[in-house]
Structures are given as structure tokens and as C-alpha cells.
Amino acid sequence: MDKKHAVKLFLQTFFGNAEDRRFDFIEQISRFQKLGKKQLLFSEDEAGSEFYFLASGKIKLFRSTSDGKEAIIRFITPGEYFAEILLQLKSRYPVSSVAIEPSEVLAIDANKILKHIEQNPDVAMYFIAALSQRIKYLLGMIEQLTLADIRQRFINYLLMLRDKSNTDRVELPAAKGEIALLLGTTAETFSRLLKKLAGEGYIRVEGRTIILLKDRDQLTDS
């Protein structure tokens, strides 16, 4: 993939049109970057002025806890943008970001985007909608981690992945051990849960691929 293709993917995702009139503007204020597996993109509390759009690959966002452990915040898949919080903080990244497989990102100058919004108020509506969806997602994750047991957290997570892929065959975005961390449990407990759900006929496990064998209501009531 090249930069022009990545810009078009961003325009399609954000404005709903790969041929949007802002192509030249986005191309001028962005840079295209390739990342190797396990390559760090930015670190928690690092000063920066760019937010990112993932064109290909997978990215992990995480924070370090007070006892030195890793707390996974989110897995980013192609077609998503991240670190847009800089549009509000304008200074430092609140999390760290690392590629969990070879990836390609479009780094976009947040300060120039802000100026563009000031000059073109209609663009602000796209950002408001995008941030609203992100807030909804984060609130959902908080609810999963605080109100539901590990079984229900994982089922909710599977349903979210199914909604994004629009298929009953969903792909876990990372190794099972990292998914366990995201859900706030141990790899051993997560492994037992997979076997239990498979044994009960709710899912079939094929490596990182999970096939959902029940409808939403049956899974939610399981």
C-alpha cells in the first residue's frame, strides 16, 4: 500500500467518500509509516502532535500499571483511527501503542486538523460523531469490566466483534493471552472459559477464529 491509498481509506472511513475534496489537504498534513511486528509507535506520556489511522495490520494500545504490569486498553484494526485525544489534550499520549503484526499507519497532524475544523465548521460534526461512538465504546467496556463476570464480558466482546464484522465467524485481534488481559482475567481462566462455551455448544474455536453458534439472545442469556 502507498500513501495515496491510505489517504483514500481514511477519507472513506471518516467522510464516507474516498474521492472527498479534502484529499490534497489530508495528503499534505499527513505522513505514511510502516511498522514492523512489536515496533513501538508512541509511548505513554510522550509529547506528540499526530493522531493515527490504521490502514493495515493490528495495533495494541496499553498502559503500565503502578506495579509495572501491562493493562491493555484496546486493539485497533484496519479502518480505525486512534490517539485522536490529542485533538483535545494537544500535548501527550495517554497510552502506549505497539504493532502486534506488520502494520501501516497514516499519521495526521492534529494541530492542522484543528485549524481546518475552525475554518470549516461542517467538519466538526464528523469529529463529534466519531468521538461519540468512541465514548459509547469506552462506556461499554467499563460496564463489561465492572458489572459482568468473565463469561458475560467475553460474550459481550464477541458480540461487539460480530457487529463490526457482520458475520458469525469472528477473528480475535490478538493472541488469547492478550485477550485475557483485555478482559481482566488470566490466560488459564480464559482457556477454561473457551472450552466450557465450546462444550456447551455456544461457540466453536479454530485458533484465533471463533464461530458463534447461537443467536444474540441465546448468547446473552447463556
The strand order across the sheet containing 40-42 reads 40-42, 96-99, 59-64, 70-76
Segment 124-152 shows an average pLDDT of: 68
Residue 212 makes CB contacts below 8 A (sequence gap 6+) with: 158, 162, 168, 169, 170, 202, 203, 219
Fill in the DSSP letter of residue 66.
T
Place of cell 464528523: 126
Beta strand pairing call for 169-171 and 103-109: unpaired
User: Both ends of the chain: CA-CA distance in Å?
Assistant: 43
* CATH code, 150-220: 1.10.10.10
Separation CA 210–CA 83 (nearest Å): 29
Instruction: Please state, in angstroms and rounded to a whole number, the distance separating the CA atoms of residues 46 and 86.
Output: 11
Task: Report the predicted TM-score, pTM, of the whole model to 2 decimal places.
Answer: 0.75
Kindly list the domain boundaries of the chain, sorted by start residue: 3-143, 150-220
Average pLDDT of the chain, as a whole number = 85
| Confidence check: pLDDT of 198 > 70 | yes
pLDDT at residue 134, as a whole number? 64
Find where cell 489517504 sits: 7
d(CA 204, CA 222): 15
pLDDT of residue 103: 97
On the question of pLDDT at 4 being above 70, the answer is yes
User: What band does 131 get if pLDDT is binned at 50, 70 and 90?
Assistant: low
By CB atoms closer than 10 A (0-12, 13-18, 19+), residue 15 is middle
Report the distance separating Cα 105 and Cα 35, nearest Å: 8
CA 167-173-175 angle, 5° bins: 130
> What is the tens place of the pLDDT at every residue in 104-114?
999 999 888 88
Is there a common fold for 3-143 and 150-220? no
pLDDT in tens, 48-102: 889 999 999 999 999 887 777 788 888 999 998 888 776 565 578 888 999 999 9
Identify the CATH number of the domain defined by range 3-143.
2.60.120.10
What does the pLDDT read at residue 78? 92
